[in-house]
Every structure is written in C-alpha cells, then in structure tokens.
Amino acid sequence: MRSLIATVAIAALLCGSSVAQTQQLFVLQHVEGANALAVGVLWAHGYADDEASDCGLARVLATRRLDRARRAVPSCLATGMHVGSDYGLVFGVVGRDDRERALQFLNTLLDETTDASTDDELALTIARVALHADDAEFLYPGSLLASRARKEVGAGTAIERPAAGIAAAIAKLTPARVRAELRRPAPMRVACLGNLDEKLRAGVHKLPVPHLEHPAFAPLLCNERTAAAPVSTQLHDRIDSPYVAAAFALPHGLDRASLAVGVEIATARAFRRWRYRGFEQQARAPFVAWSWLHQDPLLHFCRRGENPRQLLPGERSQANADDEAGATAAELQAYLQDLRTNKPSQQELQLARASLQRRLGFAESSPWAKEPATYPGRLQVLLLATHHRVAVARLDTVSADSVHAALKQVLAQGRGSWHSLVPANSTSYGYRQR
C-alpha cells in the first residue's frame, strides 16, 4: 500500500499537482527491464540562495558530499553532481540488484556526522570550486558571454551573479565555515530510479530525511528593460575567431511549456542553418541554451565566426576580426528574425513535442532502461522535474500559435543583451569579406 501511495505521489508531482509535503520527500520510479539502479539527493540550496559574499558555497557543499559518498561506496558505475540556482544534487549509479550499496550511498550523503575531512581536504575542495568558477567566468567563451549578459540584464537581482559562483568569494571560505554549513539542515528530496523492490522502498523510507518545508518554487526573473543596450565587445586572448551572443531574459507570465517546445524548434532550425565552426562545444557555446528542467532565467544564443586563414607573404587581409564579428552578428540577427517571423509548422511542433516528452517522461518500459550510461541523466530529470514543478502533461496542450507567441514575447526587439568576444587582429591571419 505504501509503494502505491508513493507511485501516485510521483505521478502527481511530474504533472505539476500540489501534494502533501511528506509525499515530496521520496521520488521513486520503477523502470521495467532496468539494468541499473540510480539514487540521488537534491538539496534546496543553490547559487542564488548563497549570499553575494559566499556565492558558490552551494557547489562546495555538493562537492564535499559527493567526495564523501565516493569514498564510502567505491566502484559505482557512475557518480556525479549538478548545482543550479536553487538546488544542489548528488547521484550515484550501481548494478540493478545492488540494493545495499545504493542505500549505503544515500545514507552517506545524508549523514553529515560521518564527514572526517581534514582542513587540508576542505581547503583543496574550496580551491577546486573557486577554479571552476573562475574558468566559467573568464576562460570559456560561451559561459563568459553568458556571465556578461547576466550582469547586464539581471542588475539588482541574484541573476547578475555568474552562473557558477564568484571565484573570489569562494576562495575566502574557511574549512570551519564549510563544516558548519554541511551540518545546517536543508530541505531535500531523495530519488531512486531503476529496479525497485519492496525492500529497497522500505529502506529508502527509513532514511534520516529531515521533514523541512520546501520553499515555494518561484522562477528567477530579471527586471524588464526599457531600451536596448549597445553591443559590448571584449578582447579574448584564447580564441582565434569571434564569438557573438544574444541573451534574452524571460518575461513575467511566460508560458514556459510553449517556450520549451519553441527552444526545441529553435535548436533544430539552428542545426539546419549552421554547422559548427571550430570547438564551439568545448567552448561551452551551444547555438541555443535554455532548459525548462533547470528553469534558466535567460534564453541564450551563441555563434562563432569563421576560421581565419593564414595570409601569404605580402597578402592583405580582406577583413579583420571586428569585421568578422559584425558578419557573425548579422548571421545571428537573421536567425532570430526567422524565429520571430516564421510560425512553427505542424511537423516541427510534433517533432519538438515528442522529443521533450521522451526526455522528460517515464514510461513503464523504455529503450534506455538497458543502458546504465543513461541513468545519471534520467535521475536528474526525475529530481528536477519534481523540484521545479515541470508539468510534462502541459506539452499536450501546446499549439503552434502558443509556441510562436512565446518566442515572439521573449525575442521581442529591444529585449536582447548582445555581447561579443574578438581575438586581437593579426598581420599573419585574416578573414574573407562577407
């Protein structure tokens, strides 16, 4: 009877229904034919919950919890973590029948009294997280451009902070502070995905999960802009071709289910229109970046310029890096205008909706169930869909008109924040005129 109640609660959560707080503590999903067992914990504490003076503490805590669980339960099939604006989660994947190790992994995550880390170990964790934040804000072109957009459109809100925390603030954390924060109770959820039997369910319900009230979910929103700001340009010494990005804050009252389908369509159009130039993926600069699951506050677009060509002795370049940045910005402008102007076709709508439903839904029997490598992603879907009240059932009501309306609302002229990175002009390399 207890397992039936848990199953009903999960279904209600994934459909966006309001349920009793105690039913949100455990998110259990049995998968027929599962070849693995994934478990994880989500704490309702992310970057936006930190103070500006310690922004990134949430990642330090998640890192310590993951390190502790890895030490206690070695040789898992996979382990990992993810930290967002209002959450930090840690997961592990074991064999399909490895119930005891799964419960041990969860117990270790939840029991903060067993952390025997030395000051040196905690200091090393702090340094690693500070380096991660520094790389995100200053090294990788895509995340660097996103950070600049957040500062511009998120002024006066938590959005203006870098998405991965503030390196200088993290570096000032002390081991004593980290220990104290690890022991501070926080609302959390425990999730299990895979081959679930009654013994596992009973063991999960006995875990020492504090019955703390979860804060009401409210997506991060920027202040509405009254006028477009000029494009900002910055030199970057680690790139050989310009990167241009446009970011759009999500307006109040937006239909996020329609936007989620719109982003799928926008991504498909980008791949039909463009090809990767260089290492855009390694630069953390995807064509389109926004997630309904993660409730990102900005919809971000990025495009890299063409590769420069080495000039022959005495040859003059047709165009320099600034010219190429302008041509790349024009490409991005034309693409965004297509999204504003051309309503999605029924085929685009159906393909995008089906893609989202496959990624966010949980059928009794799924093709991915036999591949353990898919379980980390699927477990995160389970936890984040619950945490952010992602109403997957809403996708069935989305129409081409509502998708187009959502895209036009977000991408309206004057709402975008435009930024570019350019390499230094060179006498040895140049670009074609276009």
Evaluate whether residue 239 is within a structural domain: yes
Residue 121: predicted pLDDT: 95
Residue 17: predicted pLDDT: 36
How buried is residue 1: exposed, middle or buried, by Cβ count under 10 Å (0-12/13-18/19+)? Answer: exposed
Same domain, 62 and 171: yes
Same domain, 382 and 406: no
Same domain, 199 and 92: yes
Same domain, 162 and 77: yes
Close Cβ partners of 313 (under 8 Å, ≥ 6 residues apart)? none
Return d(Cα 89, Cα 386) in angstroms, integer.
13
Q: pLDDT tens digits, residue range 384-408?
A: 999 999 999 999 999 999 999 999 9
Residue 84: predicted pLDDT: 96
Evaluate whether residue 373 is within a structural domain: no
Residue (of 96, 140, 168, 162) closest to 238 by Cα position? 140
Contact 304, 328 (CB under 8 A): yes
Tokens of 126: 């702090």
Count other Cβ atoms within 10 Å, centred on residue 226. 6
Count other Cβ atoms within 10 Å, centred on residue 289. 21
Return d(Cα 415, Cα 418) in angstroms, integer.
10
What's the pTM value of the predicted model, to 2 decimals?
0.89
Return d(Cα 160, Cα 222) in angstroms, integer.
9
Q: How far apart are the first and last CA of the chain?
A: 68
What letter would DSSP give residue 174? -
Evaluate whether residue 22 is within a structural domain: yes
Return d(Cα 374, Cα 379) in angstroms, integer.
9
Same domain, 22 and 156: yes
Angle at 380 between CA 377 and CA 382, to 5 degrees: 115
Residue 20: predicted pLDDT: 38
Contact 46, 383 (CB under 8 A): no
Return d(Cα 54, Cα 47) in angstroms, integer.
9
Residue 225: predicted pLDDT: 64
Which strands sit side by side in the sheet containing 78-83, from one edge to the other?
Answer: 26-30, 188-194, 36-43, 88-95, 78-83
Residue 224: predicted pLDDT: 67
Residue (of 390, 287, 326) closest to 14 by Cα position? 390
Evaluate whether residue 218 is within a structural domain: no
In order, the DSSP letters of 337-352 are: HHHHHSPPPHHHHHHH
Residue 364: predicted pLDDT: 64
Residue 229: predicted pLDDT: 67
Return d(Cα 77, Cα 317) in angstroms, integer.
52
Same domain, 415 and 278: yes
Amino acid at 161: R
Evaluate whether residue 87 is within a structural domain: yes
Same domain, 289 and 405: yes
Residue 64: predicted pLDDT: 96
Residue 5: predicted pLDDT: 36
Same domain, 193 and 47: yes
Evaluate whether residue 241 is within a structural domain: yes
pLDDT tens, the chain, 434 aa long: 333 334 433 443 444 333 334 447 999 999 999 999 999 999 999 999 999 999 999 999 999 999 999 999 999 999 999 999 999 999 999 999 999 999 999 999 999 887 788 999 999 999 999 999 999 999 999 999 999 999 998 888 889 999 999 999 999 999 999 999 999 999 999 999 999 999 999 999 999 998 888 777 778 777 766 556 678 999 999 999 999 999 999 998 999 999 999 999 999 999 999 999 988 889 999 999 999 999 999 999 999 999 999 999 989 999 999 999 999 999 999 999 999 999 999 999 999 999 999 999 887 667 889 999 999 999 999 999 999 999 999 999 999 999 999 999 999 988 899 999 999 988 899 999 99
Residue 49 structural domain: 2-213+378-387
Same domain, 198 and 248: no
Residue 336: predicted pLDDT: 98
Close Cβ partners of 327 (under 8 Å, ≥ 6 residues apart)? 305, 306, 319, 434
Helix (H, G, I), strand (E, B) or coil at 369: helix
Contact 205, 2 (CB under 8 A): yes
CATH of the domain at 18: 3.30.830.10
Evaluate whether residue 225 is within a structural domain: no
Same domain, 95 and 116: yes
Evaluate whether residue 365 is within a structural domain: no
Return d(Cα 273, Cα 292) in angstroms, integer.
24
Residue 326: predicted pLDDT: 96
Return d(Cα 65, Cα 91) in angstroms, integer.
10
Tally the domains of the chain. 2
Same domain, 137 and 206: yes
Angle at 312 between CA 310 and CA 315, to 5 degrees: 105
Residue 113: predicted pLDDT: 84
